[in-house]
Amino acid sequence: MAIVEAKALIKNYVAGDITVQAIRGVDFVIEPGSFVSFVGPSGSGKSTLLNMIGCLDPPSSGFLAVAGQDVATLHGKEAAHFRGEHIGFIFQDFNLIPVLTVFENIEYPLLMVQNWPAGKRKARVLEMLAAVGMQDQGDKYPGQISGGQKQRVAVARALVANPKLVLADEPTANLDRETAMRIIALMKQMRDEFGTTFVFSTHDPKVVKNAETVFFLEDGMLQKEGNRKGESHE
Amino acid sequence: MNNIVKLAFRNLKRYMRRTLLTSMLITLGVVAVLLFISVSGSFKGMMIGQITDSMLGHMQIHAKGYLSSIENLPLNRNLTAKQVDKARQLLDENKSVEAYSMRIKLGAMFSNFSETTNVRLNAVDPQQEMATVPGLVSRIIKGEKEGLLARGEILIPELIAKGMNVNVGDTIVLVATNREGSVNGQPFVVRGLLEGITGPGGRDGVIHLDDARSLLRIEETEISEIAVRLKDMGRLDAVYEAVNGQLSAMKNKMDKPVFEVHTWRELTPFFNIARMIDVMTFFIKIMLVSIVLISIMNVMIMAVYERINEIGTIAAIGTTPGKILALFITEGFLLGLFGALIGVIVSLAGIAGMNAAHISFNFGRQEDLLLAPTIAAGDVVMVSVIVIVIAILGSLQPAFKASRMDPIAALRHV
């Protein structure tokens, strides 16, 4: 079963009398465990698509299923629960909570969203800290670590609750080349280790190059789909 | 819930200066209110205590209609022997009554053999009177205090003493007209001078009850008023309800009530001052509420505004709107709690300090009255609860705003 399936997906934004068509009837399927990138110029609809997959923004019409759930009807509390259960997020600006330590930031989804018991929670966070190579940095606050380390923490936070899907919006945009490559490698390693599906929106050729499936978007429409073997489909 | 409290606490710690300033503002409000309540309460208590303990008693019983014509001191509205017995029986049976004093109130001509003036008099049984208004003795500013007075003696108001040039040990004559219009005179020795205090009866002289009977040629028991002292003034309303209920049920032949019962509140204009103090306390509380409400709202609005991106993040990763709401309300609650807690501690220290400093003040013609501020646990709890509830209310709107924020818009916020 596909982890994400979209059919005739449309997203319109209405501002007064003006309706902007951000996504114009796209169809795609993302298989579990894949490393997928949505690529396109600014305003092409990448972030909108990611927001819809992440249940942050409902589609205007069409069908969108994530982890077998029709997410078009999820709102507010149900959408929050669904996100907490099935989806991890990695943000361009890392978006760590500044008052929490690295350990606590990673722990947050287990504590505030999923209510894991303390012992199990600690073991899982330590596992994730080790997985992203931050085992010695758990007591530090986000203000005390580098950008690359922050993104590692963000990766760990996104994966800590064993989500089926991780959505990453421009995850390397604020990182230098070397750090960006390390983060991409880390995410791939995490995918291999935990079998999680990673979906990016990006401009970054480094990410695009590493993606196994690439969806090209332009003006809200899917132009073509490519895979790591270089095949592409119009 | 613990995690929400922990996170809220960390967020407050993050903006330490702002948190401290807001807490200080709340603390200042709490201190102002609690100190005002304690000092004004002390002043009020002293004032009421002085009026009730040296003059009125806590409650008074009269014949129906007496109080409305008390200025004339009408002898034809005295309680009869039978009525006095009924009232006496009732008061003796009431366990809350500590003492009561039978009084005849009369007006007389006061003569020093060369000049004459009017005087209002309370005729009392000294033992009953001292038990009912123990503060009366302390108003004797000159003369022997022990035993209050004996037959043939008079305590005169100091103003009359000055005006009539009369001193302790002098003999004066009282001339009074009785109910039938018969005039009688009787000599008295000035036993002491009484300090005048403001309020009804504050400038009355005092003679022995038996002297009043002979002066007015009263043969049977006849009483103008019964002043009552309670063991616990806090039970005043309950005792009043009981006594008044029983006495007002007694009717005369024309089926009209025989008695009227009043608490000290209805007998002195100082009750209005006491009420004014209560009203002032109420307005001070309103000011406290405003301070807390405005400061908490201001801080929480700022907290939400500054953390929009963070709110978007926690919402995106699955934090429910309810938990986001709880997080911000908890921050407001903690601010109110800190402010109230510190305010209570500072206030209690301030009250203890004032008591240790033995601050004295003058009230009217009374000097060196000791300020003894106290605060009831109920007042401390009430003010703390008000502050905390208002702090929660003040954070509601910003918290709702945070919880209903669109995660996408919040994440885009710079």
Same domain, B119 and B12: no
Closest residue in B to A115 (Cα) is B3
DSSP annotation string for B6-17: HHHHHHHHHTHH
Whether pLDDT at A26 is above 60? yes
Q: How confident is the model at residue A231 (pLDDT cuts 50, 70, 90)?
A: very low
Contact A81 B10 (CB under 8 A): no
Tell me, what DSSP letter sits at residue B29? Answer: H
Q: How confident is the model at residue A134 (pLDDT cuts 50, 70, 90)?
A: confident
* Selected residue with higher pLDDT from B361 and A23: A23
Instruction: Choose one of B207, B226, B257: the last residue of a domain.
Output: B257
Residue A164, SS3? coil
Q: Rounded CA gap, B28 and B44, in Å?
A: 23
Same domain, B98 and B181: yes
Question: Could you tell me if residue A65 is inside a domain?
Answer: no
DSSP annotation string for A29-70: EE-TT-EEEEE-STTSSHHHHHHHHTTSS--SEEEEEETTEE
Question: Could you tell me if residue B204 is inside a domain?
Answer: yes
Lookup result for tokens 């240790």 = B356
Q: Rounded CA gap, A123 and A183, in Å?
A: 23
Q: Whole domain around residue B16: which residue ranges? A: 2-50+272-412
Question: Could you tell me if residue B60 is inside a domain?
Answer: no
DSSP annotation string for B174-232: EEEE-TTS-EEEEEEEEEEEEPP-SSTTTT-EEEEHHHHHHHHT--S-EESEEEEEES-
* Selected residue with higher pLDDT from B67 and B202: B67
- Is the ipTM here above 0.95? no
Same domain, B293 and B370: yes
Whether pLDDT at B104 is above 90? yes
Whether pLDDT at A234 is above 50? no
Same domain, B80 and B151: yes
Question: Could you tell me if residue A229 is inside a domain?
Answer: yes
Question: Could you tell me if residue A25 is inside a domain?
Answer: no
Q: Domain containing A163 — which CATH number? A: 3.40.50.300
Q: How far is B295 from chain A (nearest CA, A)?
A: 23
Question: Could you tell me if residue B56 is inside a domain?
Answer: no
Same domain, B130 and B248: yes
Whether pLDDT at A227 is above 70? no
Cβ-in-10-Å burial (0-12, 13-18, 19+) of A112 comes to buried
Question: Could you tell me if residue B88 is inside a domain?
Answer: yes
Q: Which of B317, B323, B400, B404 is the best mutation test for A, with the most CBs of A within 10 A?
A: B317
Contact B310 A100 (CB under 8 A): no
Residue-averaged pLDDT of chain B = 88
Contact B317 A108 (CB under 8 A): yes
Instruction: Choose one of B225, B257, B289: the last residue of a domain.
Output: B257
Tell me, what DSSP letter sits at residue A110? Answer: I
Number of domains in chain A: 1
Q: Closest by alpha carbon to A185, among A151, A159, A210, A148?
A: A210
Structure tokens at B81: 């022997």
Question: Could you tell me if residue A215 is inside a domain?
Answer: yes
**Of residues A57, A80, A157, nearest to B321 (C-beta):** A80
pLDDT digits (tens, 9 = 90+) for B130-153: 999 998 888 898 999 888 999 999
Question: Could you tell me if residue A1 is inside a domain?
Answer: no
Same domain, B135 and B168: yes
Number of domains in chain B: 2
pLDDT digits (tens, 9 = 90+) for B395-407: 999 999 999 988 8
Question: Could you tell me if residue A118 is inside a domain?
Answer: yes
Instruction: Choose one of B257, B286, B317: the last residue of a domain.
Output: B257
Q: Whole domain around residue A210: which residue ranges? A: 31-55+73-233
Structure tokens at A48: 């909108």
Cβ-in-10-Å burial (0-12, 13-18, 19+) of B241 comes to exposed
Question: Could you tell me if residue A50 is inside a domain?
Answer: yes
Mean pLDDT, residues A202-223 taken together: 85
Q: How confident is the model at residue B200 (pLDDT cuts 50, 70, 90)?
A: low
- pLDDT on residue B304: 85
Structure tokens at B368: 């060196």
Q: Rounded CA gap, B269 and B89, in Å?
A: 31
Same domain, B291 and B160: no
pLDDT digits (tens, 9 = 90+) for B233-291: 889 999 999 999 988 888 888 888 889 999 998 888 778 888 888 898 888 888 888 88
Same domain, B80 and B212: yes
Mean pLDDT, residues A80-103 taken together: 90
